């Protein structure tokens, strides 16, 4: 039973660039949520995708966008990178928007220079 997978594991970008992070949900799950975890902080909810649409969004600017594919995998895109975007980006999946438990992937660590 494959868990949540994310790629890449690490990424270095410079200010102003754009980045795309990828996530494959746990087998049997159809809902994907993205979180940003800054150093020393808890994860902060970015948005959630279900049926290829953004269903919920946290307090993040429009520079953060996403996509969900028919196979339930998802991408997180961040445009015009800022130094403050440096963080661990976590993907979590559930069965349905109301799924009881979110299963997390290992994360992608993004460093913006």
Partner 1 sequence: AQSVSQHNHHVILSEAASLELGCNYSYGGTVNLFWYVQYPGQHLQLLLKYFSGDPLVKGIKGFEAEFIKSKFSFNLRKPSVQWSDTAEYFCAVRSNDYKLSFGAGTTVTVRA
Q: Measure the CA–CA gap between 104 and 63, rounded to whole angstroms.
A: 23
Q: Please report how many Cα atoms fall inside a 13 Å half-sphere around the Cα of residue 24, on the Cβ side.
A: 8
Residues 78, 93: Cα–Cα separation, whole Å:
20
Of residues 40, 53, 70, 71, which one binds partner 1 by CB under 8 A?
40
The verdict on 25 binding partner 1 (CB under 8 A) reads no
Distance CA(64)–CA(56), nearest Å, equals: 13
Stretch that binds partner 1, among 8-16, 40-48, 61-69, 72-80 (CB under 8 A): 40-48
> Among residues 25 and 43, whose Cβ is nearest to partner 1?
43
**Residues of the shown chain interacting with partner 1 in the complex, contacts defined by CB under 8 A:** 4, 33, 35, 40-45, 48, 56, 58, 90, 92, 97-98, 100-107
């Amino acid at each position: 039973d494959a868990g949540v997978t994310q790629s890449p594991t690490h990424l270095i970008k410079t200010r102003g660039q754009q980045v795309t992070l990828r996530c494959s949900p746990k087998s049997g799950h159809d809902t994907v949520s993205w979180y940003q975890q800054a150093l020393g902080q808890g994860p902060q909810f970015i948005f959630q995708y279900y049926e290829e649409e953004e269903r919920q969004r946290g307090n993040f600017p429009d520079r953060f966008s996403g996509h969900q594919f028919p196979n339930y995998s998802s991408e997180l895109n961040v445009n015009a990178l800022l130094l403050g975007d440096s963080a661990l980006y976590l993907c979590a999946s559930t069965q349905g928007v109301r799924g009881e438990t979110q299963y997390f992937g290992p994360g992608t660590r993004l460093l913006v220079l």
